[in-house]
Structures are given as C-alpha cells and as structure tokens.
A and B are shown apart, each in its own frame.
Chain A
C-alpha cells in the first residue's frame, strides 16, 4: 500500500477534523466579550457616514452607484499593468490596442460624468 495519494487522504481528513473541532469547540471554550465594534456589520473600518439615524440604518442608494462605478473602472486598470510591463515588446500594435481599450472605457466615463453619475445628490 505505497499509494502516493494516501498522505493526501490523511491530510484531507486532518483538515476536516480540525475545522469541525474548531467550530464546535469555540462556543464552549472561548471567552464571550462583546462590544459595540464587534457587533457592527463590518468589524473593520470606520462607521458608515453619515450616521443613519432613521429607516433602519439603510445606506443611501448613491453609495452603491458610486461603489459600482469605482469597481468597474478599477477592474479595467488591471489590464493596463500587463501592458505596461511589456509595452516595448508589444510594439505599436499593442499601443493602438490599449489606446482603443482606454478610449472605450473613456466613453463610458464620459457618459457617467456627463449624466451626473458622479454627483452625490
């Protein structure tokens, strides 16, 4: 039984057992000290601002719009990095391609900007 995969099986079993043990044991043996920060929806970071007073603590809808726009444009930047590190090898064709890419993102940006997507109110 010198199966090379046997250790792997042990590894999985061990990992599973540890996870199970931690989850079941924690409520019994861990200390339970709650404070305000711990009860927040997001334990890290600052308090949502402005502080929601009424309406069950809901976020203004503009927050999601801005966040979404940020993520969209942020993700596009991912493509710029690989281009930047190999720009010399990609030559003119690469430059044209990335310019086109930036242009299309730019169109979307222009639209968002002109139609008030960036205004808070």
Chain B
C-alpha cells in the first residue's frame, strides 16, 4: 500500500460522532487531571494542597452530576460513541458511578493531613531511604500534591477501561490507569524502602501483565481480523478458523486482566504492594482498581467470549478456586493487617470471578453489586488502618492491635463491623453481595464452585475473627499504638464506607435494581 493510497483513504476521513452527554463524566475527569497538572505548575507551594483538594472534589461532584443527568434519560440499550470505541450502557454507568463514589472517599483519605502531620506522602519521592535528606524530609511536613493529578488520571483510565469496546482502547486505558498507580505506590512518607520496593515490584509485574495483555490482543487480531469485542464474538461464533489463536489470545488477554484484578494465582504483587503503598493509595487501589479490572473482565467475557463459554469455563473455575483458597489460606498466616486485607482481597477476587463467569443477567448484576459493596468496605477498612499509629507511623503489625477496643471503642467497633462485612455476616453488604453472586452461580449450574467458595469464606472468617479477638478479648500492650483522632476528611471517608456497608446490608433493593437495569452493548 503506497503513500498515495493512504492519503486517498484519508480523503474519506470523517470526524467521528461524539455523544458528549455520554462521555462527559470521563471528559470532566481527564480535563480536570490536566488542569491539576497546571495547578502543580503555577500555584505556589502554600496554595497547592488546598487548590488540588478543591479541584479534585469539585471534579468528582461535577462528573457525578453529569453522569446523573445523562443516566436520567439515557437510551435503555446503551449507546456506542467515538466510532464505537466506547460503549456507554447501564453496566458502564453503574461502574462509573461506583468508581466516582469510591474515588471520592479515596481522595478524602489522600487529602487528610491531620492523621499523619503533613499527609501520608513525601515531598520528594526520589530521595534514597535512610539518608540524611530522607530523615530531614520525614521531619518536614511538606507533601507531594502530584498525587492528586495522578489519582485523577488513574480514575480517568479506569472509567475508559470499563467502557472500552475494543481491545486497543482497553489497552491504552489500562496503561493510563496503571502508570499513575505505580508512581503513587512509592510515595509513602514512612517506611520508604518498603514503599519504593512496592512501586518497583508493581511496575515490573504490571509491565509483564501489560505485555501479556498486548500479546493476547495481537493474537486475537490475528484470529478475528479486528480488535473490536463484537467482531471477535462474531468470528468465534461462526467460523472454522484456527481455535489455537483464539484460545492462546484469550489466555494471554485474561492473564493481563486477572493480574490487575489480583486474582490468584496472579496475585503475587498484591500483599507487597498493599503493604508498601501509602495506606490512602492502598485504599484507592483496593477499591477502584478492583472495580475497573472486574468491569473489564465482565465486558470481555460477556461480549467477546460468550460463544466460547464452554471451552474456557473450566479454566476459570480452576482460577477462581485457586484464588479463593490462596486468599483464605495464606491470609491465615499473616501478621500484618495490611497484608491480611490484601489476601482477603485475593479471596474476594475469587468470589467476584465466580459471579463474572456466570454470563447471565443475574451474574452481571450480582458482580456489579458485589464490587460496589466490597469497594466501600475495603475503603473504610484501610481508612481505619491509617488511624492506628505509634511513634513509627502506622502500627500495622497485628500484635499491636491487641486490646484496641479498650483504648478506642468506636474505632474498634467500626473495624469489627467492617471485618464482619468482609466475612459476609448478614446485615452487612458483604452478605448480600455473596448471596447475589453465589445465587447467580448456582442458577448457572455452578453449585460445586459455590460450595468451595462457601468453605473458603468460612476459612477466611477465621482471620477476620482473629483481629476481633485481638481487639476485644486481649489486654492492650503497655506501649501499644494510639489511635489518632481522625481529621474531618478521614472521618467522612470512613463514615461513608461504613454507612454504605450497613445500608446495603439492610436495604439493598435499590442498588440491586440499578445493577440489574440493563445489559452490555457492543
């Protein structure tokens, strides 16, 4: 194909139709992220923090408002826009709303400067741990406000990721959401070495996962001649092309997705990164990345690979079982509360996968509900973790939590409630979430998988209970950690998470209605 032919084709180029109403929430977030970079460039040091916080919160509210306005009279079936690159349908609107709400809580945690004087972030991430400069920086109260644009970019990437209707858009979105996260992991003010290790580890493994994903996209392009999810589905449904390309491509693609969702056995980064990253960032990752990754998984499985469900289902059964068992069993041996919640998130990823591979409307709505419920519970849980501190910063070793209920009954009570929600005890959102996901799975003929999942839940309950035992039934150590009085931001974030966990446990019907309002469009 010569240059002339190429240019001749360019003659036919038409500007793609853009449904601005549908993509407004994403545009607002990405635009604000750019503005946020400019804030960093032009605001003076003293104005940056307040400017960034106000901008970020206004952005989330504006984006949410745009979403609400659009959702009010959005077409029931959803709509394709930007030449079919983005699909905005009911599940996507639900996921966007979830992401925006969770980000709101995360931004509040990130912005808090009262728990850790000056915030949980360093001013200079490049300073080597243990050096004179590092100690000087730890003593100062400056904070890296770059974390705000990074968060907004990551959020924008996540929103595009769940709406991406072809694999290349999805890949770009994956990178947009991942790269800021890698950086954010390395910003912790305390325990710099762990934090930097987490960032490097996450980056390296994440790069591998991206490569897997991209290789998968290439093979699927070779199979279907297109990267559009709908074209792959059509090719898989009605051709006699080589299945090798299809399944090799599927396998590689799914590995990349499962990595992001921290589904075992692709979870190896999770405990290290959750532990090393600054706790507000961990909260953001645990809540939002999980939502985005499972949003992508639901879409890819539900559209592109629906026709080949019976070929791959066995494999994902195995992955789900592995994830649940790894999370539940290894969680038992943890002595650090952040690592423990990390393994719990691996187990929860297994439960979510159970719902995701039931390609039924019930499976879709159940998984969406579970994501929302789990996101808020884990967000609030990390918020509480950030409050329990001693002289060296956060006291994350479990032994330091002994007798916490005596020192601060409210914090211990809230954390107990959140742990019970993670364990799936009734009257919490965790129970309803498990129920909807598992009932969808049983309806789709996966009863044995559900039994395994329930046994794994029982095992996982043990380590949640262990923390409750420590907090309530043990005597506090004389030099144990104190609980910081949370500032307004952290208080609001934790309250938001805990209240939603309770409300969804008592009155889940309205959210279940939204989650089940429609199907994917492709």
Contacts and interface: CB of A to CB of B under 8 A. Distances in A.
Q: Do chains A and B touch in the complex (CB under 8 A)?
A: yes
Contacts of B38: 107, 110-111
A89 B40 contact: no
A34 to B, nearest CB: 37
Nearest to B16: A93
Interface of B is mostly: helix
A36 interface: no
Contacts of B7: 85-86, 89
A66 interface: no
Contacts of B13: 89-90, 94
B42 interface: yes
A110 B15 CA distance: 30
Contact of B34 (A85, A89, A93, A104): A104
B187 to A, nearest CB: 16
Nearest to B7: A86
A58 B10 CA distance: 49
Interface residues of B, number: 11
A10 to B, nearest CB: 28
B11 A89 contact: yes
B153 to A, nearest CB: 11
A86 B42 CA distance: 35
Given A93-B15, A104-B34, A107-B34, A113 B41 contact: yes
Interface in A54-80: none
A108 interface: yes
B37 interface: yes
B15 A114 contact: no
A115 interface: yes
Contacts of A110: 37-38, 41-42
Contact of B37 (A89, A91, A111): A111
Interface of A is mostly: helix
B9 to A, nearest CB: 10
Given A93-B15, A114-B42, A107 B37 contact: yes
Contact of B10 (A90, A104, A108, A114): A90
Contacts of B37: 107-108, 110-111
A90 B11 CA distance: 8
Interface in A97-121: 103-104, 107-108, 110-111, 113-115
Contacts of A113: 41
A110 B40 CA distance: 9
B15 A86 contact: no
Contacts of A94: 13
Contacts of A103: 34
A64 B13 CA distance: 40
Contacts of A93: 15
Contacts of A90: 10, 13
B11 A114 contact: no
A89 B41 CA distance: 36
Contact of B40 (A86, A91, A111): A111
A115 B123 CA distance: 13
B42 A89 contact: no
Interface string B34-66: 100110111000000000000000000000000
Contacts of A114: 40-42
Contacts of B42: 110, 114
A72 to B, nearest CB: 13
Nearest to A111: B41
A110 B11 CA distance: 35
A79 B318 CA distance: 44
Contacts of A111: 37-38, 40-41
A22 B84 CA distance: 53
Contacts of B15: 91, 93
Contacts of B40: 111, 114-115
Nearest to A104: B34
Nearest to A89: B10
18 contacts: A85-B7, A86-B7, A86-B10, A90-B13, A93-B15, A94-B13, A104-B34, A107-B34, A107-B37, A108-B37, A110-B38, A110-B42, A111-B37, A111-B38, A111-B40, A111-B41, A114-B40, A115-B40
Interface of A: 85-86, 89-91, 93-94, 103-104, 107-108, 110-111, 113-115
| A-B interface, 9 closest residue pairs, ranked by CB to CB distance from nearest | A93-B15, A114-B41, A111-B41, A110-B41, A107-B37, A89-B10, A86-B10, A107-B34, A111-B37
Given A111-B38, A111-B41, 5 more contacts: A86-B7, A89-B10, A90-B10, A111-B40, A114-B41
